Amino acid sequence: MAVDKDLLNRGNKEYAPDKCCILPEAINSALASATKRRKRYKSAKVYAIGVVYDKARDKYLARITPFGHDKQVKLHYWDTEEEAFQEYKLFKESEIRILALRYRDKIPDRLFDALIKYEVRPYSSYED
């Protein structure tokens, strides 16, 4: 089990009893990878989470590391960053919902409901 500070209060930075919840580590890890903070480099563009730009193909690539796996999976190449992000978002939100279903009898209804409604955003919760 793990303490999560921003499932119920998106963007929360405080570990307080009324703002946190206890989740299975598997769900907490999946949520963390959906909102991870990426380093910004002065000269580099930061793309939406799950998206990279392939200069050789002049396309955007969606990619995801499925829960429980060590290797990233390339999804599809797209003409726009938004299209690539939408594909990542579809896969990531599906993964979170599947984990919610797997743990439904082990977590309170309010956490299950929050996971089913969870929306992946293009940039980490710190930046949007």
Q: Does the pLDDT at position 124 exceed 70?
A: no
Q: What share of the chain is helix, strand, coil (3-state, %, to 5)?
A: 35, 15, 50
pLDDT digits (tens, 9 = 90+) for 71-122: 999 999 999 999 999 999 999 999 999 999 999 999 999 999 999 999 999 9
14-61 pLDDT, tens digit each: 998 888 999 999 999 888 876 665 555 555 678 999 999 999 999 999
Give the type of residue at 95. E
- SS3 label, residue 97: helix
Ranges of each domain in the chain: 2-117
